[in-house]
Structure formats: C-alpha cells, structure tokens
Amino acid sequence: MKAIIGLGNPEVKYRLTRHNTGFLVMDEILKAKNITLCDKFNSFFAKENDILYLLPKTYMNLSGRAVIELMNFYKLTNKDILVIYDDATIDLGIIRMRSKGSFGGHNGIKSIINCIGTNAFDRLKIGVGPIGNIPIDNYVLSNFSKEELEKILKIGKAAINLVDYWVKEGFEKTQTKFNGRIL
C-alpha cells in the first residue's frame, strides 16, 4: 500500500496560493483518475485499490498529525509515502525528488518529520520561486498569477505519470526519470 499526500491549507482563501501547490497538483491527479474524496484522518481522503490519497485539513503547519494518523491506521512505513509540496527555492515549474532531508524552512515538512520521527520519506518538491525581495511568508501565501497557475495545473496533469511510476517502480527509478524536469 502507498500513500500520495498533497500539502496545503483547506480554506478557500488559500486555494490559489503558492503554499497550496500540493493541493493543486493533487486536484489534477484526482480529477484525471475520477477519484472522489471523503472526510477521514482529519483530511480529505480517498482509497483506490492499494493507493491512498490524502490532503490534510490540519493546515500546513500541522500536516504531520494527519499523516501519522493515516500511517498508523494502515500500518505504513516512511517508505510508503510520497509528499507533494511547494518549494520557493526552486524556480516555478521545476520539480525535484528527494528521499530524505531537512525541512528546509517548510513548516508542513517540519511537522511531518516531527510526527513520523524521521526525515527519510519520499518527496516531490514543486518549484514556485524565485521569491524576490519579499518575506517568504508573504510570498508563499500570495496567489499565483494566471500564467503561473496555468503552469502549476499543467504540472498537476503531468504528475499523474510521475505518481503512477513511483507506485510501480519506486523512488530511485522515478527520481532518475523525472528529477529536475519542468513537467
């Protein structure tokens, strides 16, 4: 069993912000697969065969609470999850896959690390940068421009292949095939 987790904030006012990139990408994946979400694990949740989809409703800074609840219920290990989220240090549209690392200033990732007790879990980082000369908090909570949003939604559609590949082939092959690409 594998879990795909998109990070974001559940309120409508955050819907099109850079910090909701994980939700936006997951929305495209779920639409393409015609998957409907329900409320479970303090999240928007779906299960399709052996694949779990999770969008925590805990707000970004407490994402780990929903993730650990899902992992405990399904007896998942840190090797069974893929977390999709924004990274303001990477240019818009470029993706990076990592299998471990620090939280890099991202409070959603910090929460997950703290709750699951390890920094070793697969990540799909979606570039939303460059930041420019504004504070990071203001930047990630600002809305995408129309052109930027179109690019993120295109990434969401392309991420379907990446996620399917990760489920079947694992992290290393997926990283080799997709890392650093603009989807």
Give catalytic residues, as residue numbers. 19
Three-state DSSP at 81 gives strand
User: How far is Cα 19 from Cα 138, in angstroms, rounded to an integer?
Assistant: 10
User: How far is Cα 38 from Cα 43, in angstroms, rounded to an integer?
Assistant: 8
Tokens of 31: 């639409």
Instruction: Report the side by side order of strands in the sheet with 122-129.
Output: 38-40, 43-48, 51-56, 2-6, 81-91, 122-129, 95-98
Residue 171 DSSP one-character state: H
